[in-house]
Chains A and B, each alone.
Chain A
């Protein structure tokens, strides 16, 4: 992308103060959800904005600054919206930016496979009077469907530049940027045409304009005139409040004729006018093949969205997700576990001892940092594998269907399917799930959804599940973990029902949710977004899990010289709390201490257990040399790869040897039973959200009230659910 665009003579006369080349051209990128806006910005600027294949992922505007043709361009990615009416947070963010910040031009990303609906937004954008360049995106798919789009016709009719693009294939991007520079340098030559909204509206607008020029001339300087007049006609409460225009005596006469001719609802009249323009324009410029075969998307949707099969298919998809996740990652987790317990500790000792480090610091590094952080690092392959498969489901378009099939269930609890999207995000991490509630229009929906999001089992809980299922349910690991995820969803439905009958009474609003066509996500995109989703686990391991591991080591070794960990400060604190957990099957100080430290982040439950159950150093055991260690690392990695492939292909895998089992697993087998371990996992699934999630709720709703409600109800629910599991299991004779 290095095309030099501007001719010298074009630049002459435009250079006023400073150099034109130094001016940063601000370009707002606006478009419908799922029109490929974020993908387009990624492809142009190389930034890694979230690209999800469902509506409403980009909540806030994001920016990318880059050079093209020797010029600086700032792209501002606005939230995907269907219109610029102020009904949802995205629409308000997008509209406020365009009206108040006045970018140099707007790139309107239009999904070429869905022209009519996208043009509705285009028509609204044109009202702002800002130069517009239309990126006719997903053009390749439109062509593949046999659509012929007359882009020159659009240019002529709307007076804006149109460039066909395909962001995923990176085609048309240079042309788009060249056009952006051309339009930015000569904005007066590319003013969008004033579209005719019909005689009634235009006459009213003209009358209003005359009166307004006399009464509020300053406002017409500050705001786009046509947009402002249309908003006044629509009686847009946000604009009228903001500009203090509630009592305009000339407004009623202007609208009188419109009301008489079309009825009271002026907003609908305006929407009809815009839809008519979008529809008429589509008829003019889009030529579809006469006989369109039933597309693959429709065929799949007939099955996937079936009212009876939809939810079972969703559950089956989740089960497969866990199956693939564990089949692929478990051998690598075991390999990392062997590394942390063996060579890493030996190398740390070999490095520290010759430096004259005191014995306790060697113990701190081995039994604190390596045991604590290592216990979490072991699960990085599992977390990344799961994020990869979740990203695949998102990118393929299936997750949007999952929200759709959950719509009816969500209605039962007074929410709609759109609320399920934050919950689905919560499977990765609850925190972005809580922030994603701002895509919901109704404040009650936002709070209720945010209270339910932490019941979705996030990736941080996965290490706890994996360590317990590998110790107690090695042959049914994916099924047991799947049952926990399903339990989270079912309890969210139950709690939603209770909240809706008590704290959040009201009807569930209707919603329109886009179902994007199924697409095969590119491997590059999958890898980028898997990394984006998974990297914060590494960040956490390197920061607060590391810090907590150090503190837990001290708490386990203070008072100084304590003989038994039970008598340490942490042990004593755990022993105080432990009786609370007695009825639910794990009333030990070890379990209680782990749950206390796990409040900071759920993975720390495993990290703390790793430290508590860290094995005593075996002096008699022969210490391998560095070369032997390195050889063993290579050989065991090869064995892990082989085992992963064999498991995925259902080939026979040799049984795990007793000495290969991790010390933590063996220790847990001595303390828990299968039933109490399941109750423990249920408790970890449900008990209070981590501190970052609590902070997110406080930040999102501006009060501690809902964070405290979430904390309280979840901990009570966790205890009750674990009690039912444990005592119910005992009654059924499933062990003690």
Chain B
């Protein structure tokens, strides 16, 4: 595994972690409510 592979892998893992952070933590996940009102609470 070359340095380029390591960089790509790190970027991918970082991106996946960011998506988890953004959707689960920052946006508190998708509540599944219909009007979205519970998410805005």
Question: Could you tell me if B30 and A536 are in contact, using CB atoms closer than 8 angstroms?
Answer: yes
Q: A22 vs B17: C-alpha distance in the bound complex, in angstroms?
A: 46
Contact-residue bracket for chain A? 35 or more
Closest chain-A Cβ to B37's Cβ sits at a distance in Å of 5
Q: Which residues of B contact A548 (CB under 8 A)?
A: 16, 20
Q: A554 vs B17: C-alpha distance in the bound complex, in angstroms?
A: 12
Partner of A431, one of B13, B32, B35: B32
Question: Could you tell me if A431 and B5 are in contact, using CB atoms closer than 8 angstroms?
Answer: no
Question: Could you tell me if A429 and B35 are in contact, using CB atoms closer than 8 angstroms?
Answer: no
Question: Could you tell me if A600 and B38 are in contact, using CB atoms closer than 8 angstroms?
Answer: no
Q: A361 vs B38: C-alpha distance in the bound complex, in angstroms?
A: 38
Closest chain-A Cβ to B12's Cβ sits at a distance in Å of 6
Query: Does any Cβ of B come within 8 Å of A446's Cβ?
Result: no
Partner of B23, one of A48, A360, A543, A561: A543
Closest chain-B Cβ to A254's Cβ sits at a distance in Å of 40
Q: Which of A477-485, A565-573, A690-698 forms contacts with chain B? A: A690-698
Q: A48 vs B20: C-alpha distance in the bound complex, in angstroms?
A: 28
Q: Which residues of B contact A551 (CB under 8 A)?
A: 13, 16-17, 20
Also in contact, A600 and B34, with CB within 8 A (given A550-B13, A554-B13): no
The B-contacting residues of A in range 671-700, CB under 8 angstroms, are 691-692, 695-696, 699
Q: Which residues of B contact A533 (CB under 8 A)?
A: 32, 34
Q: Which residues of B contact A544 (CB under 8 A)?
A: 19-20, 23-24, 29
> Interface readout for A528-562 with B: 1 if CB under 8 Å, 0 if not?
01001100100110011011101100100000110
Q: A695 vs B25: C-alpha distance in the bound complex, in angstroms?
A: 9
Q: Which residues of A contact B24 (CB under 8 A)?
A: 544, 600, 691-692, 695
Question: Could you tell me if B34 and A695 are in contact, using CB atoms closer than 8 angstroms?
Answer: no
Also in contact, A49 and B35, with CB within 8 A (given A544-B23, A560-B1, A692-B29): yes
Among B1, B5, B29, B32, which residue has the most Cβ atoms of chain A within 10 A? B32
Closest chain-B Cβ to A521's Cβ sits at a distance in Å of 15
Query: Does any Cβ of B come within 8 Å of A432's Cβ?
Result: yes
Partner of A699, one of B9, B12, B22, B41: B41
Among A50, A544, A554, A600, which residue has the most Cβ atoms of chain B within 10 A? A544
Query: Does any Cβ of A come within 8 Å of B3's Cβ?
Result: no
Q: Which residues of A contact B23 (CB under 8 A)?
A: 543-544, 547
Among B9, B37, B41, which residue has the most Cβ atoms of chain A within 10 A? B37
Q: Which residues of A contact B8 (CB under 8 A)?
A: 358, 361
Question: Could you tell me if A529 and B31 are in contact, using CB atoms closer than 8 angstroms?
Answer: no
Q: Which residues of B contact A49 (CB under 8 A)?
A: 34-35
The B-contacting residues of A in range 486-538, CB under 8 angstroms, are 529, 532-533, 536
Question: Could you tell me if A532 and B19 are in contact, using CB atoms closer than 8 angstroms?
Answer: no
Closest chain A residue to B31 by CB distance?
A431
Closest chain B residue to A52 by CB distance?
B34
Question: Could you tell me if A696 and B34 are in contact, using CB atoms closer than 8 angstroms?
Answer: no
Closest chain B residue to A558 by CB distance?
B9
Question: Could you tell me if A695 and B28 are in contact, using CB atoms closer than 8 angstroms?
Answer: yes
Also in contact, A529 and B16, with CB within 8 A (given A361-B8, A543-B23, A699-B41): no
Query: Does any Cβ of B come within 8 Å of A314's Cβ?
Result: no
Partner of A50, one of B22, B28, B34: B34
Closest chain-A Cβ to B24's Cβ sits at a distance in Å of 6
Closest chain-A Cβ to B20's Cβ sits at a distance in Å of 5
Closest chain B residue to A38 by CB distance?
B35
Question: Could you tell me if B30 and A547 are in contact, using CB atoms closer than 8 angstroms?
Answer: no
> Interface readout for A29-72 with B: 1 if CB under 8 Å, 0 if not?
00000000000000000001110000000011010000000000
Q: Which residues of B contact A547 (CB under 8 A)?
A: 15-17, 19-20, 23
Given A360-B9, A544-B29, 19 extra CB contacts under 8 A: A48-B34, A50-B33, A60-B37, A60-B38, A429-B31, A429-B33, A432-B32, A432-B34, A435-B33, A532-B34, A539-B30, A540-B30, A543-B22, A543-B30, A547-B19, A547-B20, A554-B9, A561-B1, A695-B29
6 tightest Cβ-Cβ pairs between the two chains A and B: A429-B32, A692-B29, A547-B19, A50-B34, A547-B16, A550-B16
Pairs across A and B, CB under 8 Å, 9 listed: A360-B5, A361-B8, A431-B38, A432-B34, A533-B34, A539-B30, A544-B19, A546-B16, A546-B19
